[in-house]
Amino acid sequence: SQQGEEDPQALSIQEGENATMNCSYKTSINNLQWYRQNSGRGLVHLILIRSNEREKHSGRLRVTLDTSKKSSSLLITASRAADTASYFCATVALSGNQFYFGTGTSLTVIP
Amino acid sequence: EAQVTQNPRYLITVTGKKLTVTCSQNMNHEYMSWYRQDPGLGLRQIYYSMNVEVTDKGDVPEGYKVSRKEKRNFPLILESPSPNQTSLYFCASSLYPPTAYGYTFGSGTRLTVV
C-alpha cells in the first residue's frame, strides 16, 4: 500500500514547545502534503512539498522530505493551544491520481 | 468565499433506505473526490472525478455511486445503506491535477445507519 504512516500516533506538549511529526511511505511520490483536522471537521491543507525539494517553510511550519528514506517530517515551532488537532500526511504516487492519507498524529498542546 | 459545501451535516437513516449526500464547490475545480474516515483506518477514497462525466473508483467504492453531471456538483449516493457504512464522509475538490495542488475539503457528513 502507498499509504503514509504517521509517527507518533499521539503527542502531548506544553504551549511554546516545538512539535515534530513524521510520515513514512512506501513507493515513489510526486509530492507530499500535510493537512490539519480539528476534531470532527474537514481537513485543511497546510503545505505541499515536491519530490525535488528537501525543505519548505510556511509561518511556524517547517516540512522536510527525504526521498531516499521515503519519509517526511512536520515541525510546528512555538506551539499554541490552537494547534491542537490531528495532522495527516498525504502522498500521491507517480503513477496515479489518487491521494493516500495516513492515519494521522493527534497533537494536544496544553496551555 | 471559496468553499466545498456538503449536506447534510448529520444524518441518521435505516438500513436499505436510499440516500444522497450532496457536495458542491464554487472554485471551478475540475477534480472532486469522496472520502470516508473511520477510527484507526484514516481517510479512504471512495470515488473521484477528474471532470464532468468522468468518474472512477477509489479504494472502497462498494455500496456507493456517484455522478458528475455538472462541474460544481458531485453527489454521493447510497442505494441501500448498511450499518458498515456508518462513517464520517468528506467531499474534497482540487484543480487538476490534484498532485500539484492541495485539496479543499468540505466540513463533513456524519452518517449513522441503524
Q: What is the tens place of the pLDDT at every residue in A3-37?
A: 678 889 999 999 999 999 999 998 888 889 999 99
pLDDT higher than 80, residue B39: yes
Put the strands of the sheet holding A61-66 in their side by side order: A5-7, A19-24, A71-76, A61-66, A55-58
Asked if A33 lies within 8 A of B102 by C-beta distance, the reply is yes
| B104 chain-A contacts, CB cut-off 8 A | 45
Instruction: Please indicate whether residue B40 or residue A73 has the higher confidence score (pLDDT).
Output: A73
What pLDDT score was predicted for residue B94?
93
Instruction: Compare CB distances from A92 to B42, B99, B106 and report the shortest one's residue.
Output: B99
For residue A30, give the H/E element and its range: strand A29-37
Q: Are A23 and A74 in contact (CB under 8 A)?
A: yes
Mean pLDDT, chain B, rounded, equals 95
The pLDDT, as a whole number, for residue A97 is: 65
Amino acid at A27: T
| Distance of alpha carbon A77 from alpha carbon A20, whole angstroms | 9
- Residue whose C-alpha cell reads 472520502 in the numeric block: B35
Q: Which of B31, B43, B99 sits opposite A101 (nearest CB)?
A: B43
B110 touches chain A (CB under 8 A): yes
CB contact, 8 Å: A10 with chain B? no
- How far apart CA B76 and CA A108 sit, in angstroms, is 33
Residue B99 reports pLDDT greater than 80: no
Interface of A with B in 57-96 (CB under 8 A): 88, 90, 92
| Per-residue confidence (pLDDT) for residue A30, from 0 to 100 | 84
Q: Quick one: pLDDT at residue A94? A: 77
Alpha carbon distances (Å) from A95 to B45, B58, B102: 16, 14, 18
Share of chain B above pLDDT 70, in %: 100
CB atoms within 10 A of CB A73: 18
- pLDDT recorded at residue A2: 54
The pLDDT of residue B102 is 87
How distant is the Cα of A38 from the closest Cα of chain B, in angstroms?
Answer: 10
**Is B95 within 8 Å of chain A by CB?**
no
**Nearby residues of B2 by Cβ (< 8 Å), 6 or more positions away:** B26, B27, B104
Q: All 3 cell numbers of residue A100?
A: 493516500
Q: Find out whether A43 and A109 touch, Cβ atoms under 8 Å.
A: no
User: Is the Cα torsion angle B91, A33, B43, A25 positive or negative in sign?
Assistant: positive
Query: Residue B60 — pLDDT band, cuts 50, 70, 90?
Result: very high
Mutation to test the A interface, candidates B45, B103, B109, most A Cβ within 10 Å: B103
Please give the single-letter amino acid code of residue B35: Y
Do the Cβ atoms of B110 and A44 come within 8 Å? no
What is the per-residue pLDDT for A66?
A: 96
What pLDDT, on the 0 to 100 scale, is given for residue A3?
Answer: 66
**Closest Cα partner for A93 from A28, A4, A25?**
A28
Contact B106, B93 (CB under 8 A): no
Query: Inter-chain contact A88–B100, Cβ cutoff 8 Å?
Result: no
- Asked whether B5 and B23 are in contact (CB, 8 A), the reply is yes
Contact partners, residue A24, CB within 8 Å, separation at least 6: A4, A5, A7, A69, A70, A71
> pLDDT averaged over chain A?
91
